[in-house]
Structure 1
Amino acid sequence: MAHHHDDLAQAVKYLKLTLPEMSKREIPTTPENYAVWYEYTAGNNLELKQKIDSLIKKNTPFSDKLNSDLYSQYIENAQQIAVDGIRDSVRKIINELLVQVADEESGLGCYARSLQSFSEKVSDTEDTSAINLLVTELLAETKKREEATQNLQATLDTMAQEMTQLREEIERLNNEASTDALTRVKNRRAFNIELEKAISTSKINSMQLTLLVLDIDHFKQFNDQFGHITGDKVLRFVATMLQKNVKGNDTVARFGGEEFAVILPETSYENALSVAENVRTRIAAQTLTDSAANVKLGAVHVSVGVADYRYGESPEEFIHRADQCLYKAKNSGRNRVVGEQELTEETASQEQRI
């Protein structure tokens, strides 16, 4: 918990430094530009920092083209560069292992031929001194083979350690690539992957699957009234509440902006409505205070749309139906849950009146 608090404090610190840097240079606060300048302020990306320092020193204006190039070169491609580095390391380890194995196979072949030769010589020798000499030679050859085997074992141990480190690095990269940097829940890319998996599992096993799409009501007012840093804290609060109120197999993701999505495998439509209502009421029950700014924010309200997967439809169609429910919740006064059956009943009622 202390570690999480330190990480959060550090993130807030960099947030407070990033926005003035961008404002001073009249850089639009798009997600891409923000990612570039957050990395610059944090100082972890040394190549990016050196590049921007050089541009600042030359008084280079930060045009839209330059901002886009910085993002493409130092943020967007960073993941691929890291993956390429891991791939090259794995290739090197495999090649080294192949060389060692080839040497070992060659050595074993020589050893086998030596054993065959010793066997033939022993069969033809009756002189004990000659047999003793053969045994001495055999022991020497066996000792050489033992040492070679020990060397191979040491090499294998070292390679195992290197592969373990690479696996940990791959897991770290995968987590970074699939995690929203601000809220620490899944990002849109990871959501798309998880939704396709959930749909595939639902089809194969004939299991129910439901989807929640959730939007923070009047979120723009938080940003306008209290600033983007406070708005970011509200986003993290909602993400945390979602994670606390779903079960292990469910997937919480930041869908974009102030919108979140929750994939609910093996969950019926009725239970999904209960989950959505539980999340909505628990979020609304909290009175938020920004302790850093000593400001009372009040309650946060959310609107939620709920859809049940229909066999054979695409992920886009599934999301679209959940979005329609969300729009209905927003247009009906916000701070409420609307499920797709409500839309169906409403449509049927309208058709009957006509």
Structure 2
Amino acid sequence: MIKVLDEHERTMAFAEVALGQIRSLRQTAIPRNYEIWYVYATGYNAPLNKIINETLARSGKLTEADLEQIYETYLSHIKTTDRIDKVGARVIGEIDDVMKVLGDALGMTSAYDASLSGATAKLSSAKSRDQLKTIVEALLRSTSEMRETNKALEDRLTLSKNEISNLQQSLEAIRAELWRNLGDDGVRKAAYRGG
């Protein structure tokens, strides 16, 4: 319980610093600005703190353009990375699901092969019409089960193909967004990064 209270007090202190900076610099209290100042207060993003300190030392203020640039350079890529990680996790999940379905299908194929082998032996030793009928019915059941398994596998692979295609489109959208963000502002962003 004490750890929870300590964490509460620590995060509240960061929040107070963030709000204090927004007040003292007379900035708009929008989520982007709060996030910038909260991260600044934590000290966990040294490059962000450095550029803020340098900009304040140079001009005594941070303009909306400065804040936007700082956010895009030092914080928005974290969200992009999170999105990429989520897509990657979904791809891994999809692959795991397909591997399970393939494993099940391989097991069914082995059972079907054993059924065919057993039927071959039984057919060669069948003495009556009733024995032949029983063997043929068992083969029909096995073939029907195999057909159902193949259909389920085909359906699942089609779903996986569509899901992977959607995930690929998500990654393409993220890549396009990254290029857009680096596009015209690339030089200015590189300057904020020190590059």
Q: What TM-score comes out, normalization by structure 1 length?
A: 0.32
Say whether the 8 Å CA contact 2:84–2:174 is kept in structure 1: no
1:290-321: CA deviations, max 9, x gaps? Answer: xxxxxxxxxxxxxxxxxxxxxxxxxxxxxxxx
Equivalent of residue 149 in structure 2, options 140, 148, 155: 155
Residue type of the alignment partner of 1:25: E
1:104 counterpart residue number:
112
Give the 3-state SS of the residue equivalent to 1:109 in structure 2.
helix
User: Within the alignment, does 1:256 sit opposite 2:169 as a pair?
Assistant: no
1: CA distance, partners of 2:73 / 2:183: 9
Equivalent of residue 129 in structure 2, options 128, 131, 135: 135
1: CA distance, partners of 2:74 / 2:135: 65
Assess, with a 3 A threshold, how the Cα gap between structure 1 residues 155 and 31 changes in structure 2: closer, same or farther: farther
Assess, with a 3 A threshold, how the Cα gap between structure 1 residues 32 and 117 changes in structure 2: closer, same or farther: farther
Say whether the 8 Å CA contact 1:22–1:29 is kept in structure 2: yes
Structure 2: where are the runs of 5+ without partners?
Answer: 1-28, 38-69, 187-195
Say whether the 8 Å CA contact 1:178–1:187 is kept in structure 2: no
Q: Report the alpha carbon displacement of residue 255 of structure 1 after superposing the two structures with TM.
A: 7.9
1:168 counterpart residue number:
162
1:40 counterpart residue number:
none
Q: Which has the higher helix share?
A: 2
Post-superposition, which runs of at least 4 consecutive aligned residues in structure 1 deviate over 4 A?
A: 185-188
Give the 3-state SS of the residue equivalent to 2:75 in structure 1.
helix
1:49-80: CA deviations, max 9, x gaps? Answer: xxxxxxxxxxxxxxxxxxx5x765x3342222
1: CA distance, partners of 2:178 / 2:124: 64
Query: How high is the sequence identity, in percent, across the aligned residues?
Result: 15
Q: What RMSD over aligned residues (CA atoms) do the two structures have, in Å?
A: 2.9
Q: Report the alpha carbon displacement of residue 92 of structure 1 after superposing the two structures with TM.
A: 0.6
Say whether the 8 Å CA contact 1:90–1:163 is kept in structure 2: yes
2: CA distance, partners of 1:105 / 1:34: 55
Say whether the 8 Å CA contact 1:33–1:71 is kept in structure 2: no
Assess, with a 3 A threshold, how the Cα gap between structure 1 residues 32 and 158 changes in structure 2: closer, same or farther: farther
1:2-58: CA deviations, max 9, x gaps? Answer: xxxxxxxxxxxxxxxxx93222333542267336xxxxxxxxxxxxxxxxxxxxxxx
1:23 counterpart residue number:
33
1:120-163: CA deviations, max 9, x gaps? Answer: x4xxxxxxxxxxxx111110111011011111111111111111
2: CA distance, partners of 1:71 / 1:173: 14
Structure 1: where are the runs of 5+ without partners?
Answer: 1-18, 36-67, 122-133, 189-253, 261-354
2: CA distance, partners of 1:30 / 1:159: 44
2: CA distance, partners of 1:31 / 1:168: 34
Q: What TM-score comes out, normalization by structure 2 length?
A: 0.55
Give the 3-state SS of the residue equivalent to 1:110 in structure 2.
helix
Residue type of the alignment partner of 2:106: L
2:85 counterpart residue number:
77
2: CA distance, partners of 1:255 / 1:176: 17
2:40 counterpart residue number:
none
Equivalent of residue 177 in structure 1, options 165, 171, 175: 171
2:76 counterpart residue number:
34
